[in-house]
């Protein structure tokens, strides 16, 4: 791991240029009020890939980029993940009484809108509903962070090290694992 | 009667003539239990075998010379591939098994070939309860009493089922999952009262033990583990041995203001009963949260042992094995009641192999600690002061917020967790299945949100000195020393069974079911079951007169969480640090849920 930090520091100047060129604007953007965009999330989100009739793809929420690629929101998401006791059931991504979040398997979908809906509504096999307990903007921040645990984030926006005891690998060093909805497990409730 | 070889005497294991007469009356009057006699010592009517919790059977047909002929007689799938921590029960011609969540109850007919299903009962617990079960969705078994099977569901219901036909007799709700309460323990039925406690020490639950009327399910009394004396059922008859347990409303004053209302002390382990002293014994779990800096004080009455009058629930004595617990050392392990000759004096004692790493011998009439000896690797504490009863914490290993404290032994699940020991009066040895793990710990401030975990610590566990993660220890109670031990690669998470044939049975996380010599520890026989074993072996005499040994196989619980929950080893803190100590388990076993029953093969 040291060598990776070293490499990053050696190519520092180049790195900064790349950052500015690629994701700089998103990374540093601050938003002090949640967007007035109509709440899309939960009502339109499905937790299955199987749809009766014609298949219509998930409509991405307008705020997706803001919460997936923004350093402030990701860092807040990480703090709130611990603050609201997500860590008690999912550990630092490896899972406990709840399933792991560090891998590619998602019972109820791994897109940020689906994660938002899962946190907000709860799910039948033990995921509590946090809607009404956690403000919407903070649920988006947590959802963005949860995706980042499996490397699904903009590298430029993620923290390179953990603040506390080294647990799971830093998000920046995590291999990206595209989400796969694992439907049988979603009903069975006994697998990840 | 003292055993000629050891001078020990077991507490009368069964209820006396009155119970037998009652049973006979029932048998004749209603035919509810048929030929089965609740007092029959070759049955197995409660998880601990007897009220003294010996897990010892006199049956001696299977012994070291013939155990090599032990073969599978029948199997049965519980239908649930999660941790199987339960003990099968055998009453006359019927075997009863409780599955993990969704907690179906099965009755098997032992008179027919292959022991077919006689009936099953489905309680349909709430699915959401799975979300507040800290350490897998386990159930530790049922209890047979007076024609009924008593057990609890994960979502906090206590249920009585007619042992004959599987009809529900009553169903009382005690737990509330929205507060994080579940029930995983097996009830204990004493003098017509069903004693049961709650789980949820990792969710800011307030612990209690409740007594229900065995006939109606009505609440008779409820004793909380924290709060004012009136809630804890402490009154003038409460006579603790040590000064630190004396004073008014200690369950309030040994906490920061209000913290006792979410302070843990759940009752999820084992209960023993002494009919002569008319006392029940049980332990209280860890205080919440794990982060000790959020709850300065002794945190009474968590982390200790209560003796209570089963009729009224009033406390007689209490001893705190872990005052102001620092490491999740719940005090809920089994309590073995023995009459022991100590320094030429006959003492009525309770023996407790404790999570904090010491085997306690306590006078069960008074609560005086007679001895406390380390049976595993311990550096978190420096022994027990027998004058004050105080556990001596090691300052070097105390958790400090914002700092990683390394190499603490034993770990959060303790030198030994819930999985019960067995005691053989023939050898005078206590057979203790346990772990050999150490841990790194970092505490942090955590918030209480009802229905979510209340822990505040990141933990990483790993093998202790020697590298073996499990041990099966035979402990000589007279010499207060290890007689022999078997080192196991993986943590030992199954219970133990001792038999009159001088064999001891236990299982391993990779799925071996083993019989070892009770005197030497030599491996006499083993069989590889389909999944890891975390269950409780039992033995009984079948309707055909032969001795049988039964075990549930199915990995899970805290130790097997990486397999049962499909956890990811890239995060060492997964399953509260247990994953780091069991990263190889998914390569050695898979999920399961199967009963195996063995007997000597016919020649």
What CATH number has the domain bearing residue B218? 2.140.10.10
pLDDT class of A25 with cuts at 50, 70, 90: low
Domain count along chain B: 1
Task: Give the nearest partner residue to B82 out of A82, A128, A190, using CB atoms.
Answer: A190
Label residue B18 by pLDDT band (50, 70, 90): very low
Q: Do B131 and A125 touch (CB under 8 A)?
A: yes
What local confidence, expressed as pLDDT, does residue A162 receive?
75
- Whole-number pLDDT of residue B30: 31
Q: How far apart are CA B301 and CA B283, in angstroms?
A: 10
Q: Which residue of B has its CA nearest to A163?
A: B402
Could you state, in order of their start, the residue ranges of all structural domains in chain A?
A: 61-192
pTM of the model: 0.90
Q: CB distance from A103 to chain B under 8 Å?
A: yes
Report the alpha-carbon distance of residue B378 to residue B380 in Å, rounded: 6
User: Given this model, what pLDDT does residue B23 score?
Assistant: 40
Q: Does B561 touch chain A (CB under 8 A)?
A: yes
Question: What is the predicted pLDDT for the residue at B495?
Answer: 98
State how beta strands B157-162 and B148-152 pair: antiparallel
Cβ A128–B81 below 8 Å, yes or no? no
* Residue A65 contacts B where some CB pair is shorter than 8 Å: no
A85 interface with B at CB cutoff 8 Å: yes
Rounded distance, CA B59 to CA B423, Å? 14
Query: Which residues of B38-88 form beta strands (DSSP E)?
Result: 56-57, 70-77
Host domain of residue B57: 9-600
Is B452 part of a structural domain of the chain?
A: yes
**Smallest CA–CA separation between B442 and chain A, in Å?**
7
| Positions of B marked catalytic | 202, 286, 328
User: Residue A9's pLDDT band (boundaries 50, 70, 90)?
Assistant: low
- Report chain B residues whose CB lies below 8 A from the CB of A91: 567, 571, 573-576, 579
Burial of A173 (0-12, 13-18, 19+ CB in 10 A): middle
Q: With an 8 Å Cβ cutoff, is B177 touching chain A? A: no
Chain A contact for B403 (CB, 8 A cutoff): no
Compute chain A's Rg from CA coordinates: 17
Q: pLDDT band at residue A181, thresholds of 50, 70 and 90?
A: confident
Count other C-beta atoms under 10 Å from residue B297's C-beta.
17
Question: Which structure tokens are listed for A3?
Answer: 């060598």
Rounded percentage of chain A residues whose pLDDT exceeds 70: 72
Centre a 10 Å sphere on the Cβ of residue A135 and count the other Cβ atoms it contains.
Answer: 11
Of B239 and A10, the structure prediction assigns the larger pLDDT to B239
Determine which helix (DSSP H) or strand (DSSP E) holds A12, and give its type and residue range: helix A12-22
Q: Which helix (H) or strand (E) holds A143?
A: helix A136-149
DSSP code string of B229-285: HHHHT--TT---SSGGG-STTHHHHTSSTTGGGG-B----S-EEEETTTTEEEEE--
Q: Which residue of B has its CA nearest to A187?
A: B127
| B103 in Cβ contact with B120 (< 8 Å) | no
Chain-chain contact of A96 with B561 (C-beta, under 8 angstroms): yes
DSSP B293: G
- The pLDDT value given to residue B58: 96
- Say whether A127 and B131 touch across the interface (CB within 8 A): yes
Please check whether residue A96 touches B, CB under 8 A: yes
Q: Which residue of A has its CA nearest to B452?
A: A85
Query: A184 to chain B: which residues are within 8 Å by CB?
Result: none
- Among B134, B449, B591, beta carbon nearest to A84: B449
Q: Does B450 touch chain A (CB under 8 A)?
A: no
Total residues belonging to chain B: 603
pLDDT at B453 over 60: yes
pLDDT of residue A185: 41
Tokens of B437: 């793990």
Average pLDDT over residues B464-485: 97
| CB count in 10 Å sphere of residue A176 | 10
Using CB atoms, which residue from A102, A165, A190 is nearest to B568?
A102
pLDDT (tens digit per residue) in B112-151: 999 999 999 999 999 999 999 999 999 999 999 999 999 9
Residues linked to residue B305 through DSSP beta bridges, in sequence order: B283, B319
Name the residue facing A128 among B133, B452, B570 (closest C-beta): B452
Closest CA to B493 of B552, B548, B420: B420
On chain B, the residues whose CB falls within 8 A of the CB of A187 are none
Angle value at C-alpha B47, between B415 and B531, nearest 5 degrees: 65
Closest alpha carbon within chain B to A174: B570
Of B129, B447, B568, the CB nearest to A95: B568
Q: Element (H or E) spanning B211, and its range?
A: strand B208-213
Cβ-nearest to A169 among B132, B449, B570: B570
Q: Give domain status of residue B4, yes or no.
A: no
Are the CB atoms for B93 and B110 separated by under 8 Å?
A: yes
Q: Tell me the per-residue pLDDT of B331-388, one tens digit each, with 9 for 90 and over.
A: 999 999 999 998 899 999 999 999 999 999 999 999 999 999 999 999 999 999 999 9
CA distance B54 to B497: 9
Report how far apart, in Å, the C-alpha atoms of B521 and of each of A90, B63, B111, B473 are: 40, 13, 34, 9
Structure tokens at B69: 């002929």
Note whether B571 contacts A89, CB cutoff 8 Å: no
Fold of the domain built from segment(s) A61-192? Cytochrome Bc1 Complex; Chain D, domain 2 (1.10.760)
Amino acid A55: pLDDT: 78
Residue B117, chain A, CB below 8 Å: the answer is no
Which residues in B96-105 are b (16+ Cβ under 10 Å) and which e? Answer: bbbbbbbbbb
Q: Count of CB contacts below 8 A, A vs B?
A: 129
For B166-205, give the DSSP string.
Answer: --EEEEEE---GGGT-B--SPPEEETTEEEEE-B-TTTTP
Please indicate, yes or no, if residue B339 is contained in any of the structural domains.
yes
**Beta-carbon contacts of residue B77 (< 8 Å; ≥ 6 apart):** B593, B594, B595
CA B392 to chain centre: 25
Asked if B531 and B593 count as a contact pair (C-beta separation under 8 A), the reply is yes
Instruction: State CA B571 to chain mean position distance.
Output: 29
Confirm or reject contact between A168 and chain B (CB < 8 A): yes
* Beta strand segments in B326-388, E: 336-342, 345-353, 358-363, 369-374, 381-384
A99 touches chain B (CB under 8 A): yes
Q: Is residue B413 part of a domain?
A: yes
User: Which residues are registered as beta bridge partners of B172?
Assistant: B158
Q: Which residues pair with B549 in a beta bridge?
A: B539, B598
- Smallest Cβ–Cβ distance between A83 and the set B127, B133, B447 belongs to B447
Report the pLDDT value the prediction gives residue A35, as an integer from 0 to 100. 57
Contact B108, B87 (CB under 8 A): no
Q: What are the tens digits of pLDDT across the range A58-94?
A: 778 888 888 998 999 999 999 999 999 999 999 999 9
CA distance B131 to chain A (A): 3
**Neighbour-count burial of B387, counting CB atoms closer than 10 A to its CB (0-12 exposed, 13-18 middle, 19+ buried):** exposed
Q: What is the pLDDT of residue B15?
A: 43
Range with lowest mean pLDDT among A11-25, A125-139, B295-309: A11-25
Torsion of CA B566, B571, B574, B578, to 10 degrees: 100
User: Which residue bears the tokens 């937790």?
Assistant: A47
Task: Name the percent of chain B lying above pLDDT 90.
Answer: 92
B3 domain-assigned: no
Q: Note whether A175 and A152 are within 8 A (CB).
A: no
Put simply, whether B575 touches A (Cβ < 8 Å) is yes
Separation in Å, CA of B120 to nearest CA in chain A: 21
Going across the sheet that includes B345-353, the strands are: B9-10, B336-342, B345-353, B358-363, B369-374
Judging by beta carbons within 10 Å of its beta carbon (0-12, 13-18, 19+), is residue A57 exposed, middle or buried? Answer: exposed
**Chain A interface mutation, best of B566, B569, B582, highest count of A Cβ atoms under 10 Å:** B566
pLDDT band at B26 (very low <50, low <70, confident <90, very high): very low
**Alpha-carbon distance A189 to nearest alpha carbon in chain B (angstroms):** 9
Task: Using a CB–CB cutoff of 8 Å, tell me whether B453 touches chain A.
Answer: yes
> What's the mean pLDDT when you consider all of chain B?
94
Rounded CA separation B484/A125 (Å): 45
The pLDDT of residue B34 is: 30
Using an 8 Å CB-CB cutoff, list chain B residues near A191.
566
Indicate which of A82, A88, A133, A168 best probes the interface with B, i.e. most B CBs within 10 Å of its own CB. A88
Q: Which pLDDT score, from 0 to 100, does residue A17 have?
A: 55
Using a 10 angstrom Cβ sphere, with 0-12 exposed, 13-18 middle and 19 or more buried, the burial of residue A35 is middle
Q: Which H, E and C letters describe B388-401, residue by residue?
A: CCCEEECHHHCCCC
């Amino acid at each position: 791991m040291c060598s990776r930090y070293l490499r990053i520091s050696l190519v520092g100047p180049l790195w900064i240029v790349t950052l500015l060129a690629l994701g700089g604007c998103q990374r540093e953007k601050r938003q002090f009020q949640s967007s007035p965009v109509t709440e899309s999330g939960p009502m339109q989100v499905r937790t299955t890939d199987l749809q009766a009739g014609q298949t219509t793809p998930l409509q991405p929420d307008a705020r997706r980029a803001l919460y997936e690629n923004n350093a402030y929101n990701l860092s807040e998401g990480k703090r709130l993940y611990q603050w609201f006791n997500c860590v008690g059931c999912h550990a630092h991504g490896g899972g406990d009484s709840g399933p792991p979040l560090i891998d590619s398997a998602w019972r109820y979908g791994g897109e940020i809108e689906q994660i938002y809906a899962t946190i907000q509504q709860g799910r039948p096999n033990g995921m509590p509903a946090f809607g009404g307990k956690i403000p919407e903007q903070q649920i988006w921040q947590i959802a963005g962070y949860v995706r980042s645990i499996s490397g699904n984030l903009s590298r430029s926006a993620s923290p390179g090290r953990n603040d506390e005891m080294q647990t799971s690998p830093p998000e920046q060093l995590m291999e990206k694992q595209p989400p796969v909805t694992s439907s049988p497990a979603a009903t069975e409730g006994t697998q990840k | 009667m003292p055993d000629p070889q050891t001078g020990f005497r077991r507490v009368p294991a069964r209820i006396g003539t009155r119970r037998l007469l009652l049973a006979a009356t029932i048998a004749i009057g209603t035919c509810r239990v048929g030929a089965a006699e609740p007092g029959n010592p070759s049955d197995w009517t409660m998880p601990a075998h007897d009220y003294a919790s010996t897990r010892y059977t006199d049956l001696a047909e299977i012994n070291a010379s013939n155990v090599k002929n032990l073969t599978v007689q029948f199997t049965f799938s519980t239908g649930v591939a999660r941790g199987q921590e339960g003990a099968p029960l055998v009453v006359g011609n019927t075997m009863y098994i409780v599955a993990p969540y969704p907690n179906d109850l099965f009755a098997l007919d032992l008179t027919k070939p292959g022991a077919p299903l006689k009936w099953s009962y489905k309680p349909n617990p709430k699915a959401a309860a799975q979300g507040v079960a800290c350490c897998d969705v386990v159930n530790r078994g049922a209890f047979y009493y007076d024609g009924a099977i008593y057990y609890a569901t994960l979502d906090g219901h206590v249920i009585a089922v007619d042992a004959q036909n599987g009809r529900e007799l009553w169903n009382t709700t005690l737990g509330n999952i929205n507060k994080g309460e579940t029930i995983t323990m097996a009830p204990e039925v004493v003098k017509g009262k069903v004693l049961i406690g709650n789980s949820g020490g990792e969710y800011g639950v307030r612990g209690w033990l409740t007594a229900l009327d065995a006939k109606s399910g009505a609440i008779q009394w409820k004793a909380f583990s924290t709060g004012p004396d009136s809630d804890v059922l402490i009154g003038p008859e409460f006579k603790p041995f040590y000064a630190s347990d004396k004073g008014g409303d200690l369950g309030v004053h040994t906490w920061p203001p209000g913290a006792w209302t979410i302070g843990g002390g759940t009752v999820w382990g084992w209960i023993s009963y002494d009919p002569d002293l008319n006392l029940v014994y049980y332990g209280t779990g860890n205080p919440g949260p794990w982060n000790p800096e959020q709850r300065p004080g002794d945190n009474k009455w968590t982390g200790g042992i209560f003796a209570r009058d089963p009729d009224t629930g009033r406390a007689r004595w209490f001893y705190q094995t872990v005052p102001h617990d620092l490491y999740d050392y719940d005090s809920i392990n089994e309590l073995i009641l023995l009459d022991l000759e100590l320094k030429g004096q006959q003492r009525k004692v309770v023996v407790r192999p404790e999570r904090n790493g010491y085997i306690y011998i306590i006078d069960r009439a008074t609560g005086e600690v007679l001895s406390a000896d380390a049976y595993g690797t311990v550096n978190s504490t420096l022994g027990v002061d027998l004058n004050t009863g105080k556990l001596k914490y090691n300052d070097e290993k105390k958790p400090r917020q914002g700092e990683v404290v390394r190499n603490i032994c034993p770990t959060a699940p303790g030198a030994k967790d819930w999985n019960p020991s067995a005691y053989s009066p023939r050898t005078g040895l206590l057979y203790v299945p346990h772990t050999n793990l150490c841990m790194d710990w970092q505490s942090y401030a955590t918030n209480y949100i009802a229905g979510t975990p209340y822990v505040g610590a990141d933990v990483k566990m790993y093998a202790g000195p020697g590298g073996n993660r499990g041990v099966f220890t035979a402990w000589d109670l007279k010499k207060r020393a290890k007689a022999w031990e078997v080192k196991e690669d993986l943590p030992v998470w199954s219970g133990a069974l001792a038999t009159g044939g001088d064999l001891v049975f236990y299982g391993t996380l990779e799925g071996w079911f083993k019989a070892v010599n009770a005197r030497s520890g030599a491996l006499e026989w083993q069989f590889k079951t389909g999944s890891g074993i975390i269950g409780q072996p039992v033995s009984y005499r079948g309707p055909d007169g032969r001795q049988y040994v039964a075990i549930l196989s199915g990995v899970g619980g805290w130790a097997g969480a990486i397999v049962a929950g499909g956890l990811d080893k890239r995060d060492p803190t997964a399953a509260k640090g247990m994953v780091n100590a069991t990263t190889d388990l998914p390569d050695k076993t898979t999920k399961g849920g199967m009963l195996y029953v063995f007997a000597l093969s016919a020649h």
